[in-house]
Amino acid sequence: MKTQILLLGDEALALGALNAGLSGAYAYPGTPSTEIMEFIQMNPLTKERGIHCHWSSNEKTAVEEALGMSYAGKRSLASMKHVGVNVAADPLLNSAMTGANGGMLVIAADDPSMHSSQNEQDSRFYADFAMLPMLEPSSQQEAYEMAKYGFQLSEHYRIPVMLRMVTRLAHSRGNVTVDAEAEPENTLSDVANPRQWVLMPGNSRVRYKQLINDYADLTAESEKSPFNTFTDAPDHSLGIVVSGVANNYYRELWKDGKSPWPMVKISQYPLPADMLRNLVETCDEVLVIEEGQPFIEQHMRGVLNSNPKIHGRLDGYLPRTGELDPESVRLGVLKLRPSTPGLEKEETQPVPEVVVARPPALCKGCGHRDVYAALNESIESYPHARVFGDIGCYTLGYLAPFRAIHTVLDMGASITMAKGASEAGVHPAIAIIGDSTFTHSGMTGLLDAVNEDSDILVIISDNLTTGMTGGQDSQGTGKLEEICLGLGVNPEHLHTIDSLPKNHNDMVELFRNEIDHHGLSVVISRRECIQTARRSKK
Amino acid sequence: MKCDIILAGVGGQGILTIATIIGKAALKSNMNIRQAEVHGMSQRGGDVQSDLRISTSEIFSDLIPKGEADVIVSMEPMEALRYLPRLSPQGWVVTNTTPFINVTDYPETSLLDAELDKLPRVVKLDIDRIAKDLGAPRSANIVLLGALTPFIHLPKEALEEAVAAHFARKGETVVAQNIAAFRYGYERAEKNTPDNL
């Protein structure tokens, strides 16, 4: 029996995985991937079956844990935002070498246009690099169906399958027809080729050749995939390639979604070369419309760019950066085929000049505010002070009114960049990092600083949660002092203070004292996130 | 039948509740729905926006094409104006008039008012005050949902049911308050519907 419900793309994917017999989900929160794990955590089936759904410390541990479950024969997934794949890149690329036993999905949620991210890297390059198959749903329904399909593909070829979401699918609701019953979970099973799971050079060399052979089979699989389609049309003066959600923006242009030109839709990789070759050979020109970086277009052009009839983001028909939308796709098609019937539109009204920008800001009552207010005052007398920021709500300290941080790179980089700058001669060099980011990737950097007694002040602004993504459990809650002591921070220079307005003067003094200490100092400033505090009161 | 709605506001104002209730009503009426939301950084007091599309036929894009929105509904007057390029030439703006001022260069409200008055089809309501007068200050967004209802081609009854279902968990008093808020908004806006122009 099937029923129809309304789900976010993330939720549809999560439910698809649950209904396909998922045994364990592993993830670190990150926009736009967070709701995948949250949906699994809230689903009654998870409790009933005891499906693993605890947050991991970071994306690397998540992928390794998921691979362990796959090794044991059960179906697992690891989900993360696109930049999380960088953190998980080591186990991800090597999991192509070990292969999978139980079906395993690695879900990367890309954020083109950087709605809530520091770059717009496209995870399809990772799949290509690792030689892993990848699925890229174009709708909530496909996201649901691809979970099961992905597990089957993974088990058939004994390899993890990547699945690429993008913000506009992850965070968009749509009608999804779902199964009423979930399939049973896999039972424990031994791996088919035990040698392959020990990546010593001798084993790896054998396996690598096998992987290359399998990749050819996976390409053949893409050619016949139900998710990769060719739709012919009479006018071969132009051919269209769309992938993922770009399919929707393109079809939106036409009545009933019917393209006047032949169209290849790609939602499964490796790229189906024959499908693409056929389109290029039978059409005068080809427009490639894809969300994110020009992955397909680049592959089709090749480094020699010897086929001038291919168009897309690289030759200016579509914007080189940012996410697509129906308007940019319309303008791209119109640029290539001016005066196409149905594509002309009248000008709309502009945004009135009176409208001003409304940038995000730290909430009223947020402890990060008190930390920045005190920090700014404590370094007033040091014109060369540099504050190294990190990833989280407190990144907003860069904006007015605080304008308090000078760098933001990636998870954990505040501590290590401060250390490097201090070694170059910067004083004071101050790192500010949130509790969840600290346990994600800050601890190893802090150990470096301990070992050299680096002249830096590390402020761990602890709000007892993973705030930016909506308040998920933080893995270091209640343990931060012990973690710092365990790593070897000198107890005399490890301090904890409640980041409250009434403690402003004490915080200023504490920061000043620790700046004057020419060695490693850690201050844990603590106050529960105002958002989670409000929710728990309700 | 197809209706494209842009919901606008400031992070935390409750536009997603409006979207959720319309979504429920539309699903019950066997419609196709797409609703793109914004999560993450902008929810921290920045401008937020959601595209909601309902249709009896297949919907392709999760985003409403430029110049094709049938209605902009906004919890905040400046935010109503931000999305005007996306409004259809025949489209309506339904907006709250109480400003949410969290930036230092927020414009004079009289200037915003003048811009709104230039629009050929606009419904302006002080939903904050209306909700307070109704004794339900937390239901301002439901007043706005009521005011939006004449423009979205879903039966009023279906939306009222969805409002009741949404708040059922919170008890009869809260349901009654929200139904009253919904009806008040509906009646105020109905006087401005296309049929009555």
Q: Closest Cα of chain B to A20: distance in Å? A: 25
Distance of CA A107 to the CA centre of its chain: 8
For A389-408, what is the mean pLDDT?
96
State which amino acid sits at residue A500: L
Nearest chain A residue to B102 by CA distance is: A358
| CATH topology (fold) of A2-186+194-223 | Rossmann fold (3.40.50)
CATH number for the domain running over A367-537: 3.40.50.970
Nearest chain A residue to B41 by CA distance is: A116
- From-to residues of CATH 3.40.50.920 in chain A: 229-336
CATH architecture of A229-336: 3-Layer(aba) Sandwich (3.40)
Instruction: Tell me the backbone φ, ψ of residue A458, rounded to 5 degrees.
Output: -105, 120
The pLDDT value given to residue A440: 98
> CA distances (Å), A292 to each of A12, A163, A312, A434, B50, in order?
22, 14, 12, 29, 21
Residues A352, B80: contact at Cβ < 8 Å? no
Q: Closest Cα of chain B to A159: distance in Å? A: 32
Residues B149, B159: contact at Cβ < 8 Å? yes
A521-526 vs A494-498, strand pairing mode: parallel
For A408-431, what is the mean pLDDT?
98
Using CB atoms, which residue from B40, B64, B112 is nearest to A116? B40
Partners of B82 on chain A (C-beta within 8 Å) are 351, 355
CA angle A151, A268, A92 (to 5 degrees): 60
- All domains in chain B, ordered by first residue: 2-100+107-196 (3.40.920.10)
Distance CA A219, CA A422 (A): 50
Q: What is the DSSP string of A436-449?
A: HHIIIIIHHHHHHH
Angle between helix A201-223 and helix A89-98 axes, rounded to 10 deg = 90
The pLDDT value given to residue B11: 84
Name every residue whose Cβ is closer than 8 Å to that of residue A23 and which is 6 or more positions away in sequence: A49, A51, A52, A69, A74, A75, A76, A102, A185, A186
Mark yes or no for CB contact B81/A360 under 8 Å: no
Name every residue whose Cβ is closer than 8 Å to that of residue B97 and which is 6 or more positions away in sequence: B77, B109, B113, B116, B124, B125, B126
Is B60 in the A-facing interface, judged by CB distances under 8 Å? yes
The pLDDT value given to residue A532: 92
Q: Closest Cα of chain A to B176: distance in Å? A: 20
pLDDT digits (tens, 9 = 90+) for B82-121: 999 999 999 999 999 999 999 999 999 999 999 999 999 9
How large is the ipTM?
Answer: 0.94
Q: Considering the entire predicted model, what is its pTM?
A: 0.96
Partners of A333 on chain B (C-beta within 8 Å) are none
- From-to residues of CATH 3.40.50.970 in chain A: 2-186+194-223, 367-537
The pLDDT value given to residue A330: 98
- Scanning B15-54 for CB atoms below 8 A from A yields 23-24, 27, 32-47
Residues A248, A139: contact at Cβ < 8 Å? yes
Partners of A357 on chain B (C-beta within 8 Å) are 47, 103
Angle between helix B15-28 and helix B156-167 axes, rounded to 10 deg = 120
Partners of B33 on chain A (C-beta within 8 Å) are 6, 173-175
For A157-166, what is the mean pLDDT?
98
Distance CA A285, CA A269 (A): 23
Partners of B91 on chain A (C-beta within 8 Å) are none
Q: Closest Cα of chain B to A432: distance in Å? A: 18
Using CB atoms, which residue from B24, B60, B103 is nearest to A358? B103
Is B187 in the A-facing interface, judged by CB distances under 8 Å? no
Is B174 in the A-facing interface, judged by CB distances under 8 Å? no
pLDDT digits (tens, 9 = 90+) for B5-62: 999 999 888 888 999 999 999 999 999 999 998 776 667 788 999 999 999 999 999 9
The pLDDT value given to residue A360: 87
pLDDT digits (tens, 9 = 90+) for A362-385: 999 999 999 999 999 999 999 999
> CA distances (Å), A505 to each of A202, A376, B95, in order?
62, 12, 44
Q: Which two tokens stand for residue A470?
A: 């909506």
Using CB atoms, which residue from A171, A256, A326 is nearest to B38? A171
Q: Which two tokens stand for residue A290?
A: 């894809």
pLDDT digits (tens, 9 = 90+) for A229-250: 999 999 999 999 999 999 999 9
Bridge partners (DSSP) of residue A8 are A173
